Copies of this chain bind each other. A is one copy, B any other.
Amino acid sequence: MFLPVSLFLKSVSLGFLSVVFVCLWSGIWRGGFAWDGSFLQFNWHPVLMVTSLVVLYGNAIVLYRVPLHWSRWSCKVCHAGLLFLALVLSMLGLCAAFDFHHANNIPHLYSLHSWTGISTVALFSLQVEIALWFGGFCVFLMPCAPLTFRARMKPLHVWTGVTIFIMSLITSISGINEKLLLTLNGRNGSHAQPYSALPAEALFANSLGIVLIIFGLVVLSILSRHKWKKPGFDDETDRPLLIDTR
């Protein structure tokens, strides 16, 4: 049974809505973008992290359930491509935050948000590296590697992938909360209303958080339904990982 198109469209729309929300928050409420070490450089951080580690990543991991008649090879290439783009954007997002901290003498990696965030990106990089090494190993060095070995690697790859996505969700919600607490309750007095007065910006950014959670739950719900796996896509024991072009 294929994943219903309506649910797939819901997932894509929620992802798109999340990106629009985070762009509007940074671009309008937070004053726009720059790459000069100022607050405007930091504004790239939420946009790039939400777009990469939540939206692109979420769409990449449900790609194998997409109700299109793609070959296994097309799915793999698209999955790898989306994840590679997500990794590059997340690195840029990290740079935006680190540069801003450096330019304003703010210590790096002190909050729980930063601890979960850096662990997520580290795990994601490790996962991509292992997938590349493993893919290269299977394609170039040992094209006849035992298929049972490849099949054993798959559940670990899938589980690590879901772990990274859940950690991204946890990190993004704590990050939005942290940003609102630090800016709306900031000591510079530039804000007429603190976070506790729930000004329009707080309502808007809180809503972004809720949309992200709903998107995350839709993605996890799609992944959890085994009946939506594409027929014949799951029998790794008789098909090589990465080099199968069907």
- State which of B106, B107, B209 has its C-beta within 8 Å of the C-beta of A112: B209
Nearest CB of B to A210, in Å? 6
B209 and A177 contact, CB distance less than 8 A: no
Across the interface, do A177 and B112 meet the contact criterion of CB distance under 8 Å? yes
- The answer to whether A74 has its CB under 8 Å from any CB of chain B is no
Indicate if A180 sits at the interface (CB-CB under 8 A): yes
Closest CB in chain B relative to A123 CB, distance in Å: 11
A41 and B154 alpha carbons, distance in the complex (Å): 48
Q: How many residues of A contact B (CB 8 A)?
A: 40
Please provide the chain A residues from 206 to 227 with a CB less than 8 Å away from any CB of chain B in the complex.
206, 209-210, 213, 216-217, 220-221, 224
Residue A127 interfacial (CB < 8 Å):
no
A83 located at the interface, meaning its Cβ lies under 8 Å from any Cβ of chain B in the complex:
no
Verify B167–A170 contact, CB threshold 8 A: no
- Set of chain B residues within 8 Å of A115, measured between Cβ atoms: 206, 209-210
Whether, in the assembled complex, A111 has its beta carbon less than 8 Å from a beta carbon of chain B, the answer is yes
Q: Which residues of B contact A166 (CB under 8 A)?
A: 166, 169, 216-217, 220
Task: Tell me whether A3 is interfacial, beta carbon within 8 Å.
Answer: no
In the assembled complex, which residues on chain B have CB atoms less than 8 Å from the CB atom of A187?
187
Q: Which of A8-16, A55-63, A92-100, A191-199 contacts B (4 or more CB under 8 A)?
A: A191-199
Counting CB contacts under 8 A, is A116 at the interface?
Answer: yes
Q: Which of A145-183 contact B (CB under 8 A)?
A: 159, 162-163, 166-167, 169-170, 173-174, 176-178, 180-182
A-B contact pairs, 7 of them (CB 8 A): A107-B198, A111-B180, A111-B181, A112-B180, A119-B210, A166-B220, A178-B178
A sample of 12 more A-B contacts (CB under 8 A), given A111-B195, A115-B210, A187-B187, is A106-B196, A112-B173, A113-B173, A113-B177, A159-B224, A162-B224, A166-B166, A166-B169, A173-B174, A174-B177, A177-B177, A178-B181
Q: Could you list which residues of chain A lie within 8 angstroms of chain B, going by C-beta atoms? A: 106-107, 110-113, 115-116, 119, 159, 162-163, 166-167, 169-170, 173-174, 176-178, 180-182, 187, 195-198, 202, 205-206, 209-210, 213, 216-217, 220-221, 224
